[in-house]
C-alpha cells in the first residue's frame, strides 16, 4: 500500500511538471522555455512574456531619435570585439556570470539602469571609465571588481573577467564608448563581447528584466 502511494505521488509530481512545461507557449527557443541562474545567492529566471498580445509602452517602442547623438551603431563598432545575440547573452549568464567567470556589464548611466536592466548585470557607466592623461581615481576600484591586478604602475589583465557589454540598443553609444574607454586603459579586446541589441531588443523579445535595488 505504501509503495502504491509513493508511486502515485511520483506520478502526480511528474504530471504537474509536464503540465507546467506544456503551459509555456512562448519559449526562448525550441525545447528551452526558460533558464534559471543563481548569482551570489540570488535566483534569477530568464523567460519571455507569455502574453502573445503584449506590446511595449515604454520609450523602447520609439522608432526615431535625433541623430546625432542617437545614430545607428555599426554591427561591429570596434574591430576585434565580437558582437553577440540574445541567445549568447543568456548563455553567458548561465555559463559565465553564474560561475563568477564573467560580468554582464550595463554601460548605461544610472538613470537608465534604474528604469530596468537585464537580471544579474552590473552597472558600470561608460563615463566612469573615461581617463584623462591616465588619471581616474575610480579605475583601480573598478578594475579590482573586474579581476584586473595592479602590477607596479601598470595593469595585469591575465585574470581579468570576460565582459559582455550592453546599453539601450543599436541607436545608443554608451556601450561603444565604454568599450573604447576600456581599450584605452589596456583591457584586452579578446575579453570583451558586445550585445548590440541592448535593452530595446531584449524587451522587444519579451525577455525578463528587473528593477535594481
* Contact (CB, 8 A) for 86 and 207: yes
Each residue's pLDDT tens digit, 96-153: 999 999 999 999 999 999 999 999 999 999 999 987 655 677 898 999 999 999 888 8
Helices (H), the chain: 2-22, 86-95, 110-114, 139-145, 174-184, 198-204
- Which residues does the chain have with pLDDT short of 70? 1-22, 132-135
pLDDT at position 1 is: 53
Question: How far apart (Å, rounded) are the C-alpha atoms in residues 106 and 125?
Answer: 7
pLDDT at position 136 is: 75
pLDDT at position 4 is: 57
Question: How far apart (Å, rounded) are the C-alpha atoms in residues 116 and 191?
Answer: 26
CA dist list (Å): 16 to 22, 44, 54: 10, 22, 27
Nearest alpha carbon to residue 58 among 118, 119, 107, 115: 115
- Angle at CA of residue 53, ends 50 and 54, nearest 5°: 70
Question: How far apart (Å, rounded) are the C-alpha atoms in residues 159 and 156?
Answer: 8
Nearest alpha carbon to residue 90 among 144, 27, 155: 27
pLDDT at position 19 is: 46
Nearest alpha carbon to residue 62 among 168, 193, 188, 159: 168
Q: What whole-number percentage of the chain has pLDDT above 70?
A: 88
Question: How far apart (Å, rounded) are the C-alpha atoms in residues 200 and 28?
Answer: 17
Residue-range domains of the chain with CATH:
37-204 (3.40.250.10)
Containing 156, the helix (H) or strand (E) segment is strand 154-156
Amino acid at each position: 500500500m505504501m509503495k502504491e502511494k509513493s508511486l502515485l505521488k511520483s506520478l502526480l509530481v511528474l504530471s504537474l511538471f509536464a503540465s507546467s512545461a506544456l503551459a509555456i507557449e512562448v519559449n526562448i527557443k525550441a525545447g528551452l522555455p526558460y533558464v534559471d541562474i543563481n548569482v551570489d545567492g540570488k535566483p534569477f529566471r530568464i523567460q519571455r512574456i507569455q502574453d502573445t498580445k503584449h506590446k511595449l509602452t515604454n520609450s523602447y517602442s520609439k522608432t526615431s531619435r535625433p541623430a546625432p547623438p542617437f545614430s545607428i551603431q555599426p554591427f561591429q563598432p570596434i574591430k576585434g570585439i565580437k558582437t553577440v545575440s540574445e541567445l549568447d547573452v543568456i548563455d553567458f549568464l548561465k555559463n559565465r556570470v553564474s560561475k563568477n567567470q564573467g560580468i554582464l556589464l550595463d554601460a548605461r548611466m544610472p538613470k537608465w539602469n534604474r528604469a530596468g536592466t537585464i537580471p544579474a548585470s552590473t552597472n558600470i557607466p561608460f563615463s566612469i571609465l573615461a581617463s584623462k592623461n591616465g588619471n581616474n581615481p575610480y579605475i583601480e576600484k573598478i578594475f579590482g571588481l573586474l579581476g584586473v591586478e595592479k602590477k607596479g604602475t601598470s595593469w595585469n589583465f591575465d585574470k581579468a573577467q570576460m565582459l559582455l557589454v550592453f546599453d539601450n540598443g543599436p541607436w545608443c553609444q554608451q556601450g561603444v564608448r565604454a568599450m573604447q574607454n576600456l581599450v584605452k586603459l589596456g583591457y584586452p579586446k579578446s575579453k570583451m563581447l558586445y550585445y548590440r541589441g541592448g535593452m530595446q531588443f531584449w524587451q522587444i523579445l519579451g525577455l525578463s528584466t528587473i528593477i535594481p535595488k
